[in-house]
């Protein structure tokens, strides 16, 4: 399996809380419900889940830290593994270094991994895989580029109707000087002194091997490119046309495939994820997928009823006000709110628009006061008689 710490992006000495936090962040980002139909995200989600299953469990984590991935295989016996490691340490101190891990000459004879039953077979298989893995690393297998995140603000109108916007971002790009190799142009790589060109170093008391941190498994050290410092990438400014789908909300992410960091050795370019922030609207309030706005009406329209024009993001519509309407009355316009993101895939209905009536008094004047005096006669003696605390 892949290194669970690297998969989760945490250090080997990370606390349990740090591991849990990293897992939750990645699981939320890569969950299939958030990335429907994205096979790459689905595979990464599986890797993240598998990694957390190991290092999120204190017992499994301790075994992995001590013995590596072999501790996770069926039939692993911790007691036998400890014995095996003791054999290896003793052999490293007094054996002749031949045969399997330097066990010839130990205790007067050769060491046979089959003495440890299935565990010995596991170690034998694993060492064979290591030799094959080192050869593959020397062949420099393609490595996919990292995903990149950026933020973008959109208006509520864009969130309701969708839009196309041009954005400017800073993103990693292949270094033009070294063409992504990370090496100084004209220089030749030399053998890594830490791993002696094998691409691996011993860990866990010599029982296991890990990728060499100095050469990152290539077995070679390069004179770093002066422009990119050996990274193989530099930051570039890019302008992109982005389609904002209807139904986005603050926190939504829009994926732009192949617009992330470049891959290594012919690997695929990563993706760009745009995190959406919807700007507050001056007159429209948002509640989930429902929208609401205040609509001024006259006293006469409230008393007698009327047909008025109400604005929507799709354009103005006619709205009937029932006679006797009070301020605060909500009139529902079905299906005029926010659409559900990926509504075609989920079948979720669009939200509604609620028009909240607000009675507006006429400007103060003698005529208005005379009309108000006449209107006062229509009220009961105490309109506040039912108010209780």
Residue 387 domain-assigned (yes or no): no
Residue 99 predicted with pLDDT over 90: no
Question: Residue 347: exposed, middle, or buried by beta-carbon count in 10 A (0-12, 13-18, 19+)?
Answer: exposed
Question: 284-287 and 290-298 as β-strands: parallel, antiparallel, unpaired?
Answer: antiparallel
Whether 269 and 298 share a structural domain: no
Number of domain units in the chain = 3
Whether 13 and 87 share a structural domain: yes
Q: Are 145 and 268 spatial neighbours (Cβ–Cβ below 8 Å)? A: yes
> Measured between alpha carbons, how far is residue 14 from residues 10, 17, 229 in Å?
6, 8, 28
Residue 103 domain-assigned (yes or no): yes
- Residue 55 host element (H or E): helix 39-55
What local confidence, expressed as pLDDT, does residue 345 receive? 54
3-class secondary structure, 344: helix
258: domain CATH number is 2.60.260.20
**Average pLDDT value for residue range 97-103:** 37
31: domain CATH number is 1.10.287.110
Whether 291 and 271 share a structural domain: no
Residue 15 domain-assigned (yes or no): yes
Instruction: Report pTM.
Output: 0.54
Q: Are 229 and 222 spatial neighbours (Cβ–Cβ below 8 Å)? A: no
Whether 51 and 91 share a structural domain: yes
Residue 359 domain-assigned (yes or no): yes
Residue 385 domain-assigned (yes or no): no
Confidence of residue 266 (pLDDT cuts 50, 70, 90): confident
Residue 102 predicted with pLDDT over 50: no
Residue 339 domain-assigned (yes or no): yes
N- to C-terminal Cα separation, the chain? 67
Q: Find all residues with CB under 8 Å of 258, minimum gap 6, and list them.
A: 268, 269, 270, 271
Structure confidence by residue, pLDDT tens digits, 340-350: 887 655 667 89
Structural domain of 240: 148-187+222-278
What local confidence, expressed as pLDDT, does residue 133 receive? 47
In the chain, pLDDT over 70 holds for what percent of residues? 81
Question: Residue 373: exposed, middle, or buried by beta-carbon count in 10 A (0-12, 13-18, 19+)?
Answer: exposed
Whether 246 and 290 share a structural domain: no
Last residue within a domain, chosen from 120, 138, 156: 138
Q: What is the mean pLDDT of the chain?
A: 81
């Amino acid at each position: 399996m892949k290194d669970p710490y690297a998969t989760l992006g945490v250090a080997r000495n990370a606390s349990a809380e740090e591991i849990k936090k990293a897992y939750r962040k990645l699981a939320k980002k890569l969950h299939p419900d958030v990335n429907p139909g994205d096979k790459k995200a689905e595979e990464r989600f599986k890797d993240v889940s598998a990694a957390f299953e190991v290092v999120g469990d204190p017992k499994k984590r301790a075994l992995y830290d001590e013995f590596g991935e072999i501790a996770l295989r069926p039939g692993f016996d911790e007691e036998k593994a400890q014995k095996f490691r003791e054999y290896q340490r003793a052999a490293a101190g007094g054996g002749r270094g031949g045969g399997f891990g330097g066990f010839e000459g130990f205790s007067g004879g050769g060491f046979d991994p089959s003495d440890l039953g299935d565990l010995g077979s596991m170690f034998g298989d694993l060492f064979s895989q290591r030799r094959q893995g080192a050869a593959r690393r020397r062949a420099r297998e393609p490595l996919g580029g990292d995903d990149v995140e950026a933020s973008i603000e959109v208006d509520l109108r864009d969130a309701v109707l969708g839009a196309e916007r041009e954005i400017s971002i800073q993103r990693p790009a292949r270094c033009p000087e070294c063409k992504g190799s990370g090496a100084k142009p004209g220089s030749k790589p030399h053998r890594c002194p830490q791993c002696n060109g094998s691409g691996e170093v011993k860990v866990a008391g010599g029982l296991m091997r890990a990728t060499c941190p100095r050469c990152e498994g290539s077995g070679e050290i390069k004179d770093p490119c002066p422009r990119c410092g050996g990274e193989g990438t530099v930051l570039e400014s890019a302008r992109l046309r982005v389609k904002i789908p209807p139904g986005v909300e603050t926190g939504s992410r829009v994926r732009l495939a192949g617009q992330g960091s470049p891959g290594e050795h012919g690997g695929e370019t990563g993706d760009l994820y745009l995190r959406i922030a919807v700007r507050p609207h001056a007159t429209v309030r948002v509640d989930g997928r429902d929208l609401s706005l205040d609509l001024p009406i006259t006293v006469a329209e409230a008393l007698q009823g009327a047909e008025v024009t109400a604005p929507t993001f799709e354009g103005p519509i006619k709205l009937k006000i029932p006679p006797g309407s009070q301020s605060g009355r909500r009139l529902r316009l079905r299906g005029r709110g926010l659409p559900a993101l990926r509504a075609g895939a989920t079948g979720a209905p669009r939200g509604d628009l609620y028009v909240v009536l607000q009675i507006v008094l006429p400007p103060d004047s003698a005529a208005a006061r005379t009309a108000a005096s006449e209107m006062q006669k229509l009220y009961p003696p105490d309109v506040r008689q039912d108010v209780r605390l």
